[in-house]
């Protein structure tokens, strides 16, 4: 199975300057404001660059999922393929949620997940058996992992890491 992890491109900073009156009125929560953050102009270019590269690499039948965050949906929209928004990929969810959604490693289909740090980095660290519990994933970057069997042992192989700046 191939698992492709794509961190959303550069997004607006989270505005936490809501006044006490706005908080008391219950307009929006910090989570709602975080989910509504949009890509910056630079982020839109990053997403377009990475999407063009991915489109040339992805096999037919790839399953594409996105976090419900606007910045993730904007990132995946640049790809121009069908995708599904899944709550399991929201910023406050875990690496277990992501791996269960992708059906890692049992599925035979390629899975592309557009999500967030630190979850993506934790998935990478776990699958590659890194000594650190987390791996840094640059905004807009793709990490492509593959599970294979060698000499009766299952292995996770890093196929490639791409950043928008290097494409």
Q: Which CATH number belongs to the domain containing residue 71 in this structure? A: 3.40.50.1240
Q: Into how many domains does the chain fold?
A: 1
Confidence of residue 18 (pLDDT cuts 50, 70, 90): low
Domain that holds residue 115: 2-166
Confidence of residue 28 (pLDDT cuts 50, 70, 90): confident
Confidence of residue 126 (pLDDT cuts 50, 70, 90): very high
Predicted TM-score (pTM) of this structure = 0.92
Across 88-101, average pLDDT: 97
Confidence of residue 165 (pLDDT cuts 50, 70, 90): very high
Cβ distance 120 to 66 under 8 Å? Answer: no
Angle at 36 (CA atoms; ends 18, 72), nearest 5 degrees = 145
pLDDT of residue 22: 53
Tokens of 146: 């593959």
Average pLDDT, rounded, for the chain: 93
pLDDT of residue 19: 47
d(CA 136, CA 74) in angstroms, rounded, equals 22
pLDDT of residue 15: 77
Across 30-36, average pLDDT: 93
Residue reference for tokens 């040339």: 56
Confidence of residue 24 (pLDDT cuts 50, 70, 90): low
């Amino acid at each position: 199975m191939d698992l492709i992890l794509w961190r959303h491109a550069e997004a607006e900073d989270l505005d936490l300057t809501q006044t006490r009156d706005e908080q008391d009125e219950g307009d929006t929560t910090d989570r709602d404001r975080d989910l509504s953050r949009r890509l910056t102009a630079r982020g839109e270019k990053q997403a377009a660059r990475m999407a063009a590269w991915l489109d040339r690499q992805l096999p037919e039948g790839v399953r594409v999922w996105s976090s419900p965050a606007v910045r993730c949906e904007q990132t995946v929209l640049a790809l121009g393929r069908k995708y599904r928004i899944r709550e399991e990929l929201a910023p406050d969810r875990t690496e277990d949620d992501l791996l269960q959604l992708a059906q890692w490693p049992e599925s035979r289909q390629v899975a592309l997940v557009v999500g967030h740090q630190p979850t993506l980095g934790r998935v990478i660290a776990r699958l590659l058996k890194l000594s650190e519990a987390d791996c840094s994933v640059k905004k807009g970057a793709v990490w492509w992992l593959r599970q294979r069997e060698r000499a009766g042992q299952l292995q996770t192989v890093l196929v490639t890491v791409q950043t928008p700046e290097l494409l």
